[in-house]
């Protein structure tokens, strides 16, 4: 086999778009793609590739908020958000930080609103304004996070469930609802992805409150170990550098992310749409 054949980016046979890996087993950057011109087959292939690679980066995508919302609806039923100002769309969550910001959402490893009965599937974040440097998003592969644990630990985790509390929920953080109005949910600690059949670790420091089968102290010790495993798992993490008009998709069922807050007082502005997934389950 020639060097050229080895380095050539894979081409999805159904969609015919090519993609280059960001790391060998996690993340891909799509090439020669215009999202707004995708066929239904290509959108289906995008969702499947997102499930397999976890994170997809697409550069130079010029679109309006209305166009982004319309495309996002092709990914599935969408999470909707309170409309705060004129021109806002319920399908799009504004992501904004500037010289007045003291904190930004997502400053620790998490997967979005896992306290929902049907937590998110694919998220789509489009950035319009980015800082000159900084503001990257870090992603961690929960397939590899689970697979890299010892076989005995994997067996233990597959017998466990965890309560996910809405402490990081956008409705709570925005003051729209109280914690009492946002119920917790119990999900398996390890879940099966419906599009790949692969197992992924499904606890996160943003939402997971307790492992149900353990005492409080046992739960905290186990969760702390797993969070450290994720945070220090350099071999299954990637870092995405944003450019204006970049769109990034990530599959919340098998990916956690962390927004780097290192660019104060520069501006970072964009919009995120998120498709609703299914009730998490584990196939043994």
- What are the catalytic residues? 110, 112, 257, 272
Helices (H), 10-93: 40-53, 65-73
Going through 43-194 in order, the beta strands assigned E by DSSP cover 55-58, 93-97, 120-129, 137-141, 161-164, 185-188, 190-192
| Helix, strand, coil fractions of the chain, as percent rounded to 5 | 25, 30, 45
Q: Give the number of other CB atoms < 10 A from CB of residue 55.
A: 25
Task: Report which of 187, 207, 145 is spatially closest to residue 281, judged by C-alpha positions.
Answer: 187
Q: 171: which 2 tokens?
A: 């409705």
Q: What whole-number distance in Å separates Cα of residue 62 and Cα of residue 105?
A: 25
- Asked if 23 and 32 count as a contact pair (C-beta separation under 8 A), the reply is no
| Residue tagged 């953080």 (tokens) | 173
- Asked if 121 and 276 count as a contact pair (C-beta separation under 8 A), the reply is yes
Q: What whole-number distance in Å separates Cα of residue 166 and Cα of residue 185?
A: 9
């Amino acid at each position: 086999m020639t060097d050229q054949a080895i380095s050539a980016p894979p081409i999805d046979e159904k969609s015919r778009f090519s993609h280059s890996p960001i790391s060998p087993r996690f993340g891909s950057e799509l090439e020669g793609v215009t999202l707004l011109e995708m066929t239904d087959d290509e959108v289906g292939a995008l969702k499947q590739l997102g499930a397999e690679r976890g994170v997809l980066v697409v550069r130079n995508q010029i679109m309006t908020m209305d166009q982004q919302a319309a495309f996002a609806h092709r990914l599935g039923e969408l999470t909707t958000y309170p409309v705060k100002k004129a021109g806002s769309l319920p399908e799009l969550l504004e992501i904004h930080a500037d010289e007045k910001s003291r904190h930004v959402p997502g400053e620790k490893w998490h997967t979005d609103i896992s306290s929902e009965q049907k937590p998110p599937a694919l998220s789509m974040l489009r950035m319009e304004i980015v800082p000159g440097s900084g503001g990257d998003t870090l992603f961690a592969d929960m397939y590899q996070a689970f697979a890299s644990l010892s076989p005995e630990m994997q067996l233990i985790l597959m017998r466990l469930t965890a309560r996910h509390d809405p402490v990081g929920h956008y409705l709570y953080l925005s003051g729209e609802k109280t914690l009492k109005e946002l119920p917790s949910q119990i999900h398996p600690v390890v879940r099966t992805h419906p599009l790949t059949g692969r197992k992924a670790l499904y606890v996160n420091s943003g939402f997971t409150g307790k492992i149900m089968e353990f005492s409080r102290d046992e739960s905290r010790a186990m969760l702390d170990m797993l969070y450290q495993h994720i945070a220090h798992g350099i071999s299954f993490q990637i870092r995405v550098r944003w450019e204006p008009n970049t769109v990034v998709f990530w599959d919340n069922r098998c990916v956690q992310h962390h927004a780097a807050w290192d660019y104060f007082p520069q501006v970072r502005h964009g919009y995120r749409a998120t498709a609703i997934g299914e009730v998490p389950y584990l196939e043994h």
